[in-house]
Amino acid sequence: MIEFGAKGIRFGFDARSGLLDGFTVEDEGHEITPLHRAPWVGTDEAMPPGTPPHLATLGGDFFCAPFAGSEEGSPLHGWTANSPWDVVEQEATRLRARLQCTVCGATVSKELQIEDGHPFVYQHHVFTGGSGRIAISNHANVSLPQGGLISCSPKSAWETPPAPPEAESARGRSGLRYPERSTTPERFPGIDRSVDLTRFPWNPRHEDVVIGIEAREHSLGWTAVTRPIEGDLFLSLRNARRLPMTVLWHSNGGRDYPPWSGRHFGCLGVEESAAAVLLSHSSEDDLSGPGALTLIRDGETEVRHAIGAIRWPSGERVKDVRIVDHAIEVCGHRGGFRRLAFSKHFLD
């Protein structure tokens, strides 16, 4: 693990899989560690044959290309989450690394950067060369052992993929209907009743995936996860015209086979994506941006994203997140407010 730190923020980089681990923000006299770690991580437990390598260290935050399905023989979530990275430049607050494998012929580089007084990790991935279109996603895993409240930038609709994560009852169970669609996340069709997607958990044992499709009228996409008991807030920021989907993975004891074994609870995947392949009711034409990343044979294409964390002692839902000057302003439904240092043009 390679450790990085600046004033008020630190994280580790695991070059075996590109994992951002140990993300910690010091804010208002508290240390905030919002990201999940699976119960088998850090033990000597052997993974079952055929398990994608990223599951051995599941947690933290990682980048997926191709996202979800496999292409060119890559494991689930692609080589970017399952192959080693070579560190090519390392400073106190900045890392550049190159993926050892190629993705559809493209060389992939990663840049992670932090700044004094900024509660964010700035993530930048560049694809050089290659061909074709690939689904991509940043895959943060938020730890919610005591529950949480989920707020998002405006969405035109929410929908589940064509099939549930586990189709066989002997392997696991889901609580949502597949495929299904709703414009009201507080009343999404569930198997037994409507489900409030803005709360976690809403079922004692389930494994579900649901997709939020960004509304077209704005460019800043954001997801805010309030942890009321901990008194803090996780933030995910992106350019909604480049990553037009938010995929939420609710993992709460819904898989029964190893390594999950009915013990993986309290994990919310916040997966900011361009992945139209997951859609069941909508088409790429319904998105505010592309449904996949187009590789350029003789050029480059890039993906930018930021994650952050702050104290939020009111425990309220977030009403709005906006960029003002060189800051992010976070506004709560009951009047909570924070102004946070941010690199204004990073997401342009």
Tens digits of residue pLDDT in 261-272: 999 999 999 999
In this prediction, residue 73 has a pLDDT band, given cuts at 50, 70 and 90, of confident
Cis previous bond, 201, omega within 30: yes
- 325 within some domain: no
Residue 155 within any structural domain of the chain: yes
Q: Is the pLDDT of residue 70 over 80?
A: no
- How high is the pLDDT of residue 217? 85
Q: Show the DSSP H helices in 156-218 as ranges.
A: none
Q: What is the pLDDT of residue 224?
A: 98
Count of CB atoms situated within 10 Å of the CB of 262:
12
Query: Does residue 345 lie in a domain region?
Result: no
Strand pairing report for 327-332 and 181-182: unpaired
How many residues in total does the chain contain? Answer: 348
pLDDT band of 69, cuts 50, 70, 90: confident
Q: Which domain holds residue 36?
A: 2-317
**Ramachandran region, residue 96 (left: φ > 0; alpha: ψ -120 to 50; beta: rest):** beta
- Residue 66 corresponds to which tokens in the numbers above? 């191709």
In a domain, 347, yes or no: no
> What is the spatial distance between Cα 297 and Cα 129, in angstroms, rounded to a whole number?
4
| Number of domains making up the chain | 1
pLDDT at 39: 98
Average pLDDT over residues 210-227: 95
Which residues on neighbouring strands pair with residue 110, listed in sequence order?
Answer: 97, 125
Q: Are 151 and 317 in contact (CB under 8 A)?
A: yes
- Predicted confidence (pLDDT) per residue in 309-340, tens digit: 999 999 999 999 999 989 999 999 999 999 99
- Full-model pTM: 0.97
| Dihedral pair phi/psi, residue 187, rounded to 5° | -140, 65
- What mean pLDDT do residues 186-204 have? 96
User: pLDDT exceeding 70 applies to what percent of the chain?
Assistant: 100
Phi-psi region of 121 (alpha: psi -120 to 50; beta: other; left: phi over 0): beta
Per-residue pLDDT, averaged over 132-140, amounts to: 97
**345 compared with 70, residue with greater pLDDT:** 345
Query: What value, to the nearest 5°, has the Cα angle with vertex 168 and ends 261 and 255?
Result: 20
Q: Specify if 322 maps to a domain.
A: no
* Beta sheet of 293-311, edge-to-edge order: 85-90, 94-99, 106-113, 120-134, 293-311, 232-239, 220-227, 148-152, 199-200
Across residues 243-252, what is the average pLDDT? Answer: 98
Closest CA to 234 of 113, 143, 139, 138: 143
Six-digit token string for 125: 């991935």
Q: Is the pLDDT of residue 288 over 80?
A: yes
Q: How would residue 72 be classed by pLDDT, with cut points 50, 70 and 90?
A: confident
Query: Would the pLDDT of 80 be above 90?
Result: yes
CATH number at residue 266: 2.70.98.10
Half-sphere exposure of residue 213: CA atoms within 13 angstroms, side-chain side: 26
**Is residue 336 assigned to a domain?**
no
Whether 344 maps to a domain, the answer reads no
Distance CA 61, CA 83 (A): 15
Which position has the higher pLDDT, 34 or 1?
Answer: 34
Query: What confidence tens digit (pLDDT) does each residue in 28-57 have?
Result: 999 999 999 999 999 999 999 999 999 999
Longest dimension (CA), the chain: 53
Average pLDDT, the chain: 96
